Amino acid sequence: MKQFWLAFALACLFASVAAAQTPTPSLAKTSDLTSAGSVVNLPGLTIHGGRDKFIEAEGKVALTDGILEFIAVQTEGREYESLLTLDCKPSELKFALLLIGCEADEKKGSLLTVEVEWQHDGKPERVPVEQLLLDRRTKKSPAPLSWRFTGSQFVKDPLSGGEVFQADQEQAFIALWWQPAIVVNVVGEFGNPYRAADQGFEINKSAAPSKGTPVKLIFRKRS
């Protein structure tokens, strides 16, 4: 299954690169992340190799106030309920996570750490992404959270009859309550903020950078 996903996502990447009229990464370069300092650049993503592999996904701050369903969605996705937007596709992020050695599964998928970085007064500021959230039950930033690489799934398109990748249809990367259609899900039950005032998460207005601020969302496999 992992080999299939690498082939599928690589095809998606080649298609998106061709559409953007930028150089296509070679298959050898994409698969070579073993040496320290090795880097693979893909549309909206930078994959860093070596012993401590990690991914940088480029994006922007979408909201600075309100309740949230997602940490990140695709640009022109459901920005009205997401902290960030990212410039890649969910299938491309899944491919990148597989390349750094993560396993996708709804129950046993790899645990991840997710950090967000932006420029503040000319200097980089990086924090765990949960520091930009408020738990609506406690009105405080949550304790450190874990994020599971659930991987999303293929479903049948009712119009074409073909198979489609559900996260690409949803245009979403990281969900704040359990959604098997999404590539990454928060670990734990925090509730749905649309159901009650003490459920789910909202934005920590005192910590979040201003709307439109360029950011990098940084993914690592948790040891």
Tens of pLDDT along 175-219? 999 999 999 999 999 999 999 999 999 999 999 999 999 999 999
Q: Which residues lie below 8 Å from residue 164, measured CB to CB, with a gap of 6+? A: 154, 155, 156, 157
Q: What is the mean pLDDT of residues 54-70?
A: 97
CB of 98 closer than 8 Å to CB of 55: no
Tens of pLDDT along 9-60? 445 444 433 333 333 344 434 456 777 788 998 899 999 998 899 999 999 9
Query: How many CA atoms lie within 13 Å of 104's alpha carbon, on the beta-carbon side?
Result: 24
Write the CA distances from 130 to 32, 74, 147, 202, integer angstroms.
32, 19, 10, 10
Taking the complete model, does pTM exceed 0.95, yes or no?
Answer: no
Separation CA 38–CA 23 (nearest Å): 18
Separation CA 149–CA 151 (nearest Å): 6
CB of 220 closer than 8 Å to CB of 113: yes
Give pLDDT, residue 156: 83
